[in-house]
């Protein structure tokens, strides 16, 4: 038993009706504004490198802040020991 043109038309009509009834299907027009995989991964790589840079800067600044606090404590001790009035 072979399929005829009318059989194919009937199948096509059934498929078209099923697609029309199902609004949840994703079509090319629905996703045309989305980036391609390559664009997405390129953007993610840039974001991750920026995040890494920011984390490194935060670490550097926190170390610097700790050193400044240590110096302030040492200066206060020296001022107290020598009887020098703080300028601030």
pLDDT confidence of residue 88? 63
The residue written with tokens 């610097």 in the block is 64
Phi, psi of 87 (to 5 degrees): -80, -15
pTM score of the predicted model:
0.49
DSSP 83: T
pLDDT tens per residue, the chain (88 residues)? 687 888 888 888 888 877 776 666 777 888 889 999 999 999 999 999 999 999 999 999 998 988 888 888 898 899 889 988 877 6
pLDDT confidence of residue 87? 72
């Amino acid at each position: 038993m072979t399929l005829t043109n009318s059989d194919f038309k009937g199948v096509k009509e059934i498929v078209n009706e099923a697609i029309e009834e199902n609004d949840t299907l994703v079509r090319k027009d629905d996703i045309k504004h989305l980036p391609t995989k390559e664009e997405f991964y390129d953007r993610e790589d840039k974001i991750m490198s920026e995040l890494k840079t920011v984390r490194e800067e935060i670490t550097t600044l926190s170390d610097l802040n700790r050193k400044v606090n240590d110096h302030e404590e040492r200066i206060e001790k020296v001022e107290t020991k020598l009887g020098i009035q703080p300028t601030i």
